[in-house]
Amino acid sequence: MVDVREDILARLLVVVATIPNIRSAYRNNLNIDETELPAVIVLDGDEETNDATDLSMRPAHRPTVVQFMPEIIIADQADLVGSNLSIMRRELIKRVLFDAELNEQIVKTGTRGNGAIRYLGCQTDVGWMRSLHGALKAQFLFKYSMRPEEL
Amino acid sequence: MIDFSADLYDPVYSVLGVPATLSTGTAGEIALTVIDKTRSKTQTSGGVETSSVGPGAYARIPELAANGIAVGECIGAVLTFNGRSWIVREAPVQGSPNGEDLGEVRFLLMKAAG
């Protein structure tokens, strides 16, 4: 059994937990406390294919290309929270795009296959609590071949 | 006319008020009575809800005036009460039926460095 989507998410959690100074790393935990900050949360994202327009005679179980877009949120509280988020964003992007396991074993990018990993962008949000609170939500795109016979 | 200072604020601050010190750059350190209004607060960003507190305190403008401090001078001051020190980041005037000069100011606080 090979479930690339789950493999990507599981690996992402391991990768983001290595960002320096991160105190807690979760998957899909939408309710955290200030004592857990800085925190990083991997959110299972949406995925889509182009198969809606494929009306050919291709058998239903043939492989298809999936574009999977998980989201990662980094949250912190500090006087200079903006600078902290910038540093953690930099580390996040580097770690995801350069991760050998994601590139070589799971998504199979470059000469290893027709997969791809892309950083799509991020949004930020700030507000006052005990000190300045900030969060950054980053999106990545993982393109991979889904093989129904392997699921 | 009702005297809200005597009939409302005096008894409220005598029951709920706690001693505080306010350190401003211009007037030095003064003693003050404040009401602790620190409350739980959550911030939702990108779908993730973070729980924390929104530190705050109320003080009476006549008490500030008696010490020679204008509300605007309080921003950036260090306010110490109930065992913690905070920096005043905003100080919106709350007004009163007898006029804002006889009312309260709400200190919106942030964690002091260190």
CATH value at residue B76: 2.40.10
Tell me the pTM: 0.89
Q: Residue A113 CB: number of other CB atoms within 10 A?
A: 14
Residue A29 lies in a domain: yes
Instruction: Tell if the CB–CB gap between B49 and A41 is shorter than 8 Å.
Output: no
Count of pairs with CB atoms under 8 A, one residue in A, one in B: 70
Q: What's the domain count of chain B?
A: 1
Q: Which residues does chain A have within 8 Å of residue B53's beta carbon, measured at their own beta carbons?
A: 34, 129-130
Give the tokens for residue B35.
Answer: 């009401």
> The tokens 């580390």 sit on which residue?
A91
pLDDT, residue B57, reads 98
Residue A8 lies in a domain: yes
ipTM: 0.85
Instruction: Tell if the CB–CB gap between B111 and A135 is shorter than 8 Å.
Output: no
pLDDT digit string, tens, across residues A94-132: 999 999 999 999 999 888 888 999 999 999 999 999 999
Domain hosting A39: range is 4-50+61-150
Looking at the DSSP bridge assignments, the partners of residue B79 are: B22, B86
> What is the mean predicted confidence (pLDDT) over B76-91?
96
pLDDT, residue A113, reads 87
> What is the mean predicted confidence (pLDDT) over A75-100?
96
Residue A55 lies in a domain: no
Say whether the peptide bond before residue A63 is cis (omega within 30 degrees of 0).
no
Residue A25 lies in a domain: yes
pLDDT digit string, tens, across residues A39-72: 999 999 999 999 888 888 889 899 999 999 999 9
Q: What's the domain count of chain A?
A: 1
Instruction: Indicate whether A22 pLDDT > 70.
Output: yes
Q: Which residues contact B108 (CB under 8 A, 6 or more apart)?
A: A128, B54, B55, B56, B88, B89, B90, B91, B92
Task: Give dist(CA A42, CA A70) in Å, integer.
Answer: 7
Task: Give dist(CA A67, CA A70) in Å, integer.
Answer: 10
> The tokens 């605007």 sit on which residue?
B72
CATH code of the domain covering residue A41: 3.30.70.1700
Q: Which residues does chain A have within 8 Å of residue B108's beta carbon, measured at their own beta carbons?
A: 128
B114 falls in which pLDDT band (50, 70, 90)? low
The mean predicted confidence, pLDDT, of chain A is 95
B28 falls in which pLDDT band (50, 70, 90)? confident
pLDDT digit string, tens, across residues B37-48: 999 999 999 889
Residue A86 lies in a domain: yes
> What is the mean predicted confidence (pLDDT) over B65-93?
96
pLDDT, residue A54, reads 87
Pick the closest to residue A138 from A46, A41, A48 (CA basis).
Answer: A41
Domain hosting B80: range is 4-111
Residue A81 lies in a domain: yes
Instruction: Tell if the CB–CB gap between B110 and A128 is shorter than 8 Å.
Output: yes
